[in-house]
Chains A and B, each alone.
Chain A
Amino acid sequence: MTQRVGVIRFPGTNCEFDTIDAIRWLGGEAEILWHSDASVKNVDAIVIPGGFAHGDYLRCGAIARFSPVMEAVADFAQSGGPVLGICNGFQVLTEAGLLPGALQKNAGMKFLCSMQQIEFVSTQNVVGKGSAIGDHLQIPINHFEGNYVCSPEVLSRLEMQEQIVFRYTDNPNGSTKDIAGVCNEAGNVVGMMPHPERATSSLLGSNDGAVIIQSFLSA
């Protein structure tokens, strides 16, 4: 089945075309959803891509979460629809309360742009199909605010309920417990700081993001 994926664009989003290209390259269909539309137009899955929604003013994702489309995204997520937030999209999902925790500035205060090895910690979610726990992937990161934080109670809940999806094997940003991606309790909403859409061909330095997007397309 070909999934129709809605890719949300806020003012300041800049990874929407990379994401659409990657989805089409891997056999899916994709269309842009504008942030001020209050509907997600019957798509089968939603990606919130990377960028700097609303200039990242106040906090990353803090203004984007009140865009009209986000209410439709919340309803979609609530009804079990697959949602993937990448980088800034992950920040938007935490601000919206669709994922636990928050992302703050990298330890060391450096903007990081590098290839990073991550490890699958849980596959009981919309990006884990076709992968096994412990699988290592080479996926690039590109962020200043990727340092995942949450309360100790939330952390133990995440660990108990297998909601930690990815860990860095060599923590680049000070993230709590090396967390690179998490999911909600049901596993249908996933947020990750690394960019799988930028790793869908060996021409781009890695093809390891393909398994993530393919899993998402078949969710």
Chain B
Amino acid sequence: MFEVKIEVSPRDGIANPEGSTIERALPALGFEMARSVRVGKLIRLEVEAESAAAAQSLVEDMCNRFLTNPVIEDALVDVLET
């Protein structure tokens, strides 16, 4: 069994309305120094696989077909043994 973390982030070059809104709000709290805010999501799951490499490849397949929309999102898959 492998524990997997998937970091889903907006693709470079794609506007990120959540990030922009947060970036505009931060100076109101005194954080004028914050830049380049981007908001994505973290998906955690467990997967049964023969090896870490097999788990990696299964989860990448999940990402391509379902967990992310490649038009607007990128995924970073991190496999941890449990």
Distance A151 CA – B11 CA, assembled complex (angstroms)? 10
Residues of chain B contacted by A104 (CB below 8 angstroms): 14-15, 17, 72
* Cβ distance A90 to chain B, nearest Cβ, rounded Å: 14
Residues of A near B66 (CB, < 8 A) are 58, 62, 66
A77 contacts the other chain (CB 8 A): no
- The residue of chain B having its C-beta at the shortest distance from the C-beta of A107 within the complex is B17
Digit string of B1-29 for contact with A (CB within 8 Å is 1, else 0)? 00000000000001101101100000000
Question: Could you say which residues of chain B place their CB within 8 Å of the CB of A147?
Answer: 15, 17
Q: Which chain B residues border A172 with CB–CB below 8 Å?
A: none
Contact B69 A149 (CB under 8 A): no
- Residues of B within 8 Å of A58, CB to CB, are 66-67
A153 to chain B, nearest CB (A): 12
C-alpha gap A124/B69 in the complex (Å): 28
Residue-wise interface mask of B (38-80) relative to A, using a CB-CB cutoff of 8 A (1 in contact, 0 not): 0000000000000000000000000000110101100000000
**Interface range for B:** 10 to 19
Measured CB to CB, the closest approach of chain A to B61, in angstroms, equals 14
Instruction: Give complex CA distance A107, B21 in Å.
Output: 8
Residue A102 interfacial (CB < 8 Å): yes
Per CB-CB distance, the 9 closest pairs between chain A and chain B, nearest first, are A102-B71, A109-B21, A105-B17, A102-B72, A107-B17, A102-B69, A109-B17, A59-B69, A149-B14
Instruction: Using CB atoms and an 8 Å cutoff, list the residues of chain B in contact with chain A.
Output: 14-15, 17-18, 20-21, 66-67, 69, 71-72
> 20 more A-B contacts (CB under 8 A) besides A105-B18, A150-B71?
A62-B66, A62-B69, A95-B69, A102-B69, A104-B15, A104-B72, A105-B17, A106-B17, A107-B15, A107-B20, A108-B21, A109-B17, A109-B21, A147-B15, A149-B15, A149-B71, A149-B72, A151-B71, A174-B15, A174-B17
